[in-house]
Structure 1
Amino acid sequence: MADVKNQPPRLTSKGQATRARILGVAADLILKRGVVGTQIDDVRRAAEVSGSQMTHYFKDKRALVKDVIAWQAQATLDNHTQPELGHLDSFASLRLWAHLVTERQKQVGLEGGCQFGSLAGQLVESDAETRADLAAGFERWLELFRKGLLAMRDRGDLRREADPEALAYALLGALQGGMLLAQTLRRIEPLRDALDAAVTHVESFAADTADAADVV
């Protein structure tokens, strides 16, 4: 797991590790119980820290939830920036991304879905500030796809009329919708087929369609 962004100043390495552990525990509890069903004291006990430690890192539940959003967004990006995926800037890397996402869901028994998406579903209508925090997380995710797709277009892999913004929406939308359906139906096909359709859509803009077909 990469270091959490926007760490409070002057934290020691041990302090950063403790804070990251608390955030991981909080994210897991929120995923299982929901935000309403997760209290500060629940997190404290599960993380095995003292009350003074909790208040040192998070002044209240709102601050904790805000930091969980940022932590979960970073964790999601970490899962999409594995070395084998490069910069998601080739047809092959997008196909591999779709495969890895699908396999990961199989390994967890289709339980949990997208953790950041689940968090957003719970909190998006809470208040404007929370919605903005969630939107920022999704924007970072979209930017990862946009950069890769833009690089493909600039390199000539994609035709000039390909719109990296629209294609990024298609990829992330397929992931979010496919994850939710697969989680609800307990079948991998909705996720597998949604991702396949989204990547196939990207491949339809290949400057040389034979190049895209080679990686299917």
Structure 2
Amino acid sequence: MTSTHTGTAPTPSTKKGRATRERIIAAAADLMYRHGVAGTSTPSVRDAAGVSSSQIYHYFGDKDDLTKAVIAYQTDLMLALHTQLLARVENLDALDEWRNFLVESTRQQSGMGGCPLGSLANELADDHPWARQALATSFDRWLTAIRTALATLVDNRTLHSDTDIDQLALALLAAIQGGLVLAQAHRNTTALEAGLDTALATVRSHATDTEAARPSTRQANSSLPRP
């Protein structure tokens, strides 16, 4: 499968066609996460998805088409999970619970794998402008989910009205991405915890008097869902 990127084919009109396309994307996403885009071949996707090579070519014009679909797939998975957790944020303890989920899910995997979006960005962003743009949009969506949670805390007077939630949201996302890279290298969550806790301490520094008096919860909960 070549990499000339001619644009993603239209979504199939039949339920069977959509299911086949989604199965191909899911298989490719798993392989690209484990082996990288360069290390994922058409035959490996074909075998993992249980389809023929002609079916892959029917739904995707080239490897870039398939990779773009994988970016969208991974973005939707990540955002579905994080948006759900961040939508529950009504106080600072709920932010700590989100932090605990990130740390515990990374700890359970011993730091392996890193962030699916971060891994794709590291591999593709420099040489593939279309991928860089797609991934930038994905990270912007994640950033918006974090910002929305912080905005809720401003609206309910947990945080002061002059809190720079744009800067804090960006710091939290940067802490996640940098922490996951270091977790992947060191096989532990020390850096992820340090980055998140420092960013969240800054968030707490903007708390109103009532909230500032409440203790922070930091004990990770192993019953939280895995990503």
TM-score by length of 1: 0.88
Which amino acid counterpart does residue 75 of structure 1 have in structure 2?
A: L
The 5 Å alignment of 1:5-154 reads 8-82=10-84, 85-154=86-155
Residues 86 and 93 of structure 1 are in contact (CA less than 8 Å); yes or no, is this contact kept in structure 2?
no
Which amino acid counterpart does residue 43 of structure 1 have in structure 2?
A: V
Q: Distance in 2 between matches of 1:7 and 1:93?
A: 41
Could you give the per-residue CA deviations for residues 80-110 of structure 1, whole angstroms, max 9, x where no partner exists? Answer: 133x553445312211011011111121222
Q: Distance in 2 between matches of 1:12 and 1:88?
A: 39
Residues 150 and 164 of structure 1 are in contact (CA less than 8 Å); yes or no, is this contact kept in structure 2?
yes
Is there any run of 5+ residues in structure 2 with no aligned partner, and where? 1-7, 218-227
Which amino acid counterpart does residue 104 of structure 1 have in structure 2?
A: S
Residues 85 and 96 of structure 1 are in contact (CA less than 8 Å); yes or no, is this contact kept in structure 2?
no
Q: Tell me if 1:190 matches 2:197.
A: no
Q: 1:152 to 1:29 in 2, by over 3 A?
A: same
More displaced, 47-56 or 176-185?
47-56
User: How far apart are residue 67 of structure 1 and its match?
Assistant: 0.8
More displaced, 188-197 or 98-107?
188-197
- Aligned position for 1:3: none
Task: Answer 1 or 2: higher relative contact order, Cα 8 Å, separation at least 6.
Answer: 2
User: How far apart are residue 209 of structure 1 and its match?
Assistant: 5.6
Which amino acid counterpart does residue 18 of structure 1 have in structure 2?
A: T
Which amino acid counterpart does residue 23 of structure 2 have in structure 1?
A: R
- Aligned position for 1:169: 170
User: How far apart are residue 17 of structure 1 and its match?
Assistant: 2.8
More displaced, 16-25 or 195-204?
16-25
Residues 111 and 188 of structure 2 are in contact (CA less than 8 Å); yes or no, is this contact kept in structure 1?
yes
Partner SS for 2:179: helix
Q: Distance in 2 between matches of 1:171 and 1:8?
A: 36
Residues 7 and 16 of structure 1 are in contact (CA less than 8 Å); yes or no, is this contact kept in structure 2?
no
User: How far apart are residue 188 of structure 1 and its match?
Assistant: 1.7
Residues 203 and 209 of structure 1 are in contact (CA less than 8 Å); yes or no, is this contact kept in structure 2?
no
Partner SS for 1:19: helix
Q: 1:10 to 1:16 in 2, by over 3 A?
A: closer
User: How far apart are residue 141 of structure 1 and its match?
Assistant: 0.4
Q: Distance in 2 between matches of 1:131 and 1:24?
A: 21
User: How far apart are residue 26 of structure 1 and its match?
Assistant: 0.8
How many pairs are equivalent? 210
More displaced, 139-148 or 39-48?
39-48
User: How far apart are residue 120 of structure 1 and its match?
Assistant: 0.9
- Aligned position for 2:224: none
Residues 9 and 60 of structure 2 are in contact (CA less than 8 Å); yes or no, is this contact kept in structure 1?
no
Could you give the per-residue CA deviations for residues 147-200 of structure 1, whole angstroms, max 9, x where no partner exists? Answer: 111121122111122111101111101101111111101122111222111112
User: How far apart are residue 210 of structure 1 and its match?
Assistant: 3.9
TM-align CA RMSD: 2.1
Q: 1:11 to 1:91 in 2, by over 3 A?
A: farther
